[in-house]
Structure 1
Amino acid sequence: MKALLVKPPKKFLIAWLLILPVLIVRGFTIIYPIIMTFINSFFDINMFKGGVAKFVGLKNYIDIFSDSKVISSLHFTITFTVVSMIFHVVLGILLALLLNMKFKGKKLLRTITLIPWAMPMIVTGLAAQWAFNDDYGFVNDLIRRIFPYFHFDWLTHPESARIAVILVDLWKDVPFFAILVLASLQFIPEEIYESAKIDGAGVIKSFFSITLPLIMRTILTLCIFFTMWRIVSYDIVYAMTTGGPGDSTSLLAYRIAIEAFTNLNIGYSSAIAVCLFIVMIIISSLSFLAIRKHD
C-alpha cells in the first residue's frame, strides 16, 4: 500500500522535470514581455529622445483618451470586430450546412473551401489592393458588366476602404469557421432528424430546435477565438491599406505597432497594449460565462 502511494509522486516529479524546460522557455517568452509591457506603460520611453525611461505614472493612459488617432483606431476596431463576427456566424453556419449536405464532390468542395484560409494574409492583402483598384481590379470589372460606367476606387475613400477590409477578412476566415462548425454538425445523429420529421417538424423548425442548440456551444467557443483574432488583427491592414486613407482603417493592433516601431514611443505603445489586453480579458471572461450559462 505504501509503494502505491510513493510511485505516483515520483512519476509526477519526472513529468514536471521533463516539461520544465518548455515551461521556462514559454514563461520567458510570454510572461516576461507581459510584465515588461505593464512596467513600460508607466514610463516615458521614446527612442527619438534618447530612450531614457522617465516615470510618468498614468500620463500615457490619460493621453490615450485625447489621442484622435487611437480613438479612430478604437472605433474601427469595434466596427471591424462586431460586423465581421456577425457575418462569420451567419455565413459560417450557412456554409457549414451546405457542406454537410450529401452530394457528389463534397469532399473536393470542402478542400477548395479552405484555400482562402490557407493563404497568408500578407499575400491576400496585397492581392486585394489589385482587386479593389478602379482601373484594373476584378471587383469593378464585375460591376461594370452590369453598370458599364461605374468608376470607384475603393481604397481611397474611408468608408469604402473599411468595407473592403471587412470583406477581405470574411473571404479569408469564414471558410475556416464553417469547417469547424461542420465538424460539430457531423456529431449530430441522423436519428434525431428522422424522429423530428416523423413528428412533423420541417427543415426550419429542425434547424432552430435541433441543429442550432446542439452546435451552440461550438459556435460560442469559436466566437471567443475568432473575436480575439479580429481584435489583434494587424497583417490585413498592413498589407492592404497601411491604415489609410488617413487613419480610417487603422486597427488598434496596427496603431500599437506604429507607435512602437515607427514612432519609437515604447512607453505610450505599451499603455495602449495594456488597454487592449484588459479589453481582451473582459471579452473572453464574458464569453466563457456565456458558455457556462448555456451549459
Structure 2
Amino acid sequence: MYASKKYLTIAWILVLPALLIRIFTTLYPIAETFRISFFEVKLLQGIHRFVGFRNYVDMFHDSKMIASISFTVLFVVGSMAGHLILGIALALILNMKFAGQKVLRTIVLLPWAMPMVVIAMASKWAFNNDYGLVNNFIRWFDPSFQLNWLIHTGTARNAVIAVDLWKDLPFFAILVLAGLQFISSDMYEAAKIDGAGSVQSFFAITLPLLSKNILVLCIFFTMWRMTSFDVVYAMTSGGPGESTALVAYRVTTEAFTNLNTGYAASIAIVLFLVMASLSGLSMSAAKRVDY
C-alpha cells in the first residue's frame, strides 16, 4: 500500500511540470483576451484605455460584424443540413456489401485528407467564369452559360458552403458509418419478416439507433463550422465586400489587419462563450439521449 502511494506521488511529480505548462498555455490566453476585450487597443495610434463593455456594444452596431454573424449562421445551417442529409445517405451507401467497398471508402476520404487551404485555393480557380471547372461542366449542357461565382454575394456564399461541405462530408459519413457497424443485421431480418420495407426499416431501426451518434456529431461539426477561417481566407478573402466574412475571419481581420485588438478580443470572447455553450450542450446530449 505504501509502495503504491509512493509510486503515485512520483508519477504526479513527473507529470506536474507538463500539466502546469498545459494549464498556463490554456488559461492565460483566455484570461488575457478577456482582459483586453474591455480596453480600446489600437497599436498604430498607441491607444490603450479602458472602455468597459463598449467593444461588446459596438459589436452589435457594426454593419460588418452583423453581416459576418448573418453569414456565419447561414454557413453553419446550410453546411450542417448538407452534412446531415448527404452524410447519412453516403454512409448508407458505404455500408452496402459490394465489390470494391474498401477501395471506395478510401477514395471517399481523400477530400477530407487534403488541407482546406489547398482545396479553397483550387476552388477559387474552379469557380472562375472563363476557365473554371464548374462552368466548363455546366457548359456541356448550356454552352452560353456565364457566371462569375465569387463576385456576387449569393453565389459566392453558396460556393463557400459547397466547398466546405465537399471537404468534410466524407469524414462525417465515415463517423456515421462507424455507428452503422454496431447495428445487428438480425434486426433488419426480423423487420423484413414482419413485412417492413427498406424505408420503414430506416426510420424504425437505423435512425433511432443512430440518433445519439448523429446528435453529438452535429453539435461538434457545428462548433467546427463556427470557427471556420481557412476556407474564406484562401477562397474569397471575405468578399465580395464583406458578404462571406465569417466571424472567425472577422476576428483575424480586426486583430491583424486593422490592429484593433481590443475589439477583436471582444468578438473572440463572444465566440468562445458560444462554443463553450455548445460544448456543454454536447455533453448533456450525450448523457440524456439513449438508444
User: Matched residues in 1 for 2:11 and 2:65: separation?
Assistant: 46
Q: CA deviation at 1:233?
A: 0.3
Name the counterpart of 1:47: 43
Amino acid corresponding to residue 29 of structure 1 in structure 2:
T
CA positional deviation for 1:7:
4.7
2:26 counterpart (17, 23, 30): 30
Which ranges of structure 1 fall in alignment gaps of 5 or more residues? none
**Distance in 1, Cα, partners of 2:66 & 2:272:** 16
Query: How far apart are 1:195 and its partner, in Å?
Result: 1.4
1:11 offset after TM fit, Å? 4.0
For residues 92 and 11 of structure 1, the distance between their equivalents in structure 2, rounded to whole angstroms, comes to 48
Residue equivalent to 1:294: 289
The answer for unaligned runs of 5 or more in structure 2 is none
2:136 equivalent to 1:132? no
Partner of 2:11: 15
AA aligned to 1:48 is L
- State the Cα distance separating 1:30 from its structure 2 match: 1.5
**Considering only aligned residues, what root-mean-square deviation do their CA atoms show, in Å?**
1.3
Task: Please list the CA deviations of residues 243-272 of structure 1 after superposition, one character each: whole Å capped at 9, or x if unmatched.
Answer: 000000000000000000111111110001
The whole-number CA distance in structure 1 between the counterparts of 2:11 and 2:147 is 62
What is the aligned partner in structure 1 of residue 275 from structure 2? 280
Partner-residue secondary structure (3-state), 1:155: helix
> Which residue of 2 is the match for residue 182 of structure 1?
177
TM-score by length of 2: 0.96
Q: Which residue of 1 aligns with 2:252?
A: 257
Matched residue pairs, number? 290
Q: 2: distance between equivalents of 1:19 and 1:99?
A: 43
Corresponding residue for residue 89 of structure 2 = 94
Secondary structure of 1:212's counterpart equals helix
In 1: Cα distance, 2:107 partner to 2:247 partner: 32
Alpha-carbon separation, structure 1, partners of 2:148 and 2:18: 50
Residue of 54, 57, 61 corresponding to 2:52: 57
Contact 2:216 2:285 in 1 (8 A): no
TM superposition shift of 1:289? 3.2
State yes or no: 1:163 paired with 2:158. yes
Offset at residue 216 of structure 1 (A)? 1.3
* More off after superposition, 219-228 vs 165-174: 219-228
Q: Give the structure-1-normalised TM-score.
A: 0.95
Residue 187 of structure 1: CA displacement? 1.2
Give the SS at the match of 1:54: strand
> Superposed, which structure 2 residues align to 1:198-213 within 5 Å?
198-213=193-208
